[in-house]
């Protein structure tokens, strides 16, 4: 595995506006996992598609808290068409996070607002509710 693509560390409670990565770190039409807190493993994953970056919590709606990749950064199916939870093979729409088939069909991934800056940084934006905490992201 390559170097850990950890997001810049910041104190719990101040994760909003956290820089998650640079766009060049996400393979074109690919995905990576990032760790904005200090959980010891990725808690968010980012999918790059057609100039957009989509961010979701790494937590399957079938069994919330269950991580989805089979190996670090492996969140998509073989042809990159869908997000997959490899726990039980559920397929999700990349743009909406909606589960198309599998145990949680009809439910959705928990999406997170991100922005792509002019410098190519992918930043986590504040949510409408309270700022995200490390514990919050782990849910």
Partner 1 sequence: MNITSLEGLVFGVDDVGACNEFLANMGLDVVERGDDGGHFLAEDGTWISIRPRADAQLPAPLETGSMLRETVYGAADTDTIEAVAKEMARDREVTRHADGSIGFYDDLGFALRICLATRKTLEVPAEVMPNIPNSTQSRGLNVIGVTPGAPAARPRTLSHVVYFVPDVALAEAFYTQRLGFRCTDRFTDVGPFLRPAGMADHHALFLIQSPPHIKGIEHFAFHMASPSQVLAAGTQMVKRGFQSFWGPGRHHFGSNWFWYFNCPMGCHAEFDADMDQHDDHWVPRATAMGPEASQAYLFQFREKWAPGGPPPNARPAS
Binding site residues, partner 1, CB under 8 A: 1, 40-41, 66-74, 77-78, 84, 86-89, 101-103, 105
Of the candidates 20, 46, 34, the residue with the CA atom closest to the CA atom of residue 121: 20
Output 64 or 89, the one with its CB closest to partner 1. 89
61/102 with CB nearer partner 1: 102
Find the shortest distance in angstroms from Cβ 87 to partner 1: 5
Instruction: Please tell me the distance from the alpha carbon of residue 74 to that of residue 87, in angstroms, as a whole number.
Output: 12
**For partner 1, the closer CB: 21 or 123:** 21
Residue 45 CB-half CA count within 13 A: 26
Residue 58: CB minimum distance to partner 1, A: 9
Contact 116, 19 (CB under 8 A): no
Pick 40 or 51: Cβ nearer partner 1: 40
Output phi, psi for 135, to 5 deg.
Answer: -65, -40
Q: Rounded CA gap, 121 and 1, in Å?
A: 23
**CA-based end-to-end distance of the chain:** 26
Residues in the chain: 139
Provide, rounded to whole angstroms, the least separation between the CB of residue 15 and partner 1: 21
Residue whose CB is less far from partner 1, 41 or 52? 41
Q: Whole-number minimum distance, CB 91 to partner 1, in Å?
A: 10
């Amino acid at each position: 595995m390559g170097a850990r693509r950890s997001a810049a560390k910041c104190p719990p409670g101040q994760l909003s506006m956290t820089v998650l990565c640079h766009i060049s770190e996400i393979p074109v039409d690919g995905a990576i996992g990032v760790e904005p807190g200090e959980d010891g493993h990725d808690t968010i994953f980012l999918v790059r598609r057609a100039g957009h970056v989509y961010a979701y919590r790494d937590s399957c709606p079938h069994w919330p808290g269950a991580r989805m990749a089979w190996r670090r950064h492996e969140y998509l199916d073989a042809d990159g068409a869908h997000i997959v939870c490899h726990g039980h093979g559920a397929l999700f729409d990349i743009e909406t996070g909606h589960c198309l088939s599998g145990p949680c069909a009809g439910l959705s991934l928990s999406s997170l607002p991100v922005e792509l800056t002019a410098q190519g940084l992918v930043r986590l934006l504040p949510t409408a509710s309270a700022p995200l905490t490390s514990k919050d992201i782990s849910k």
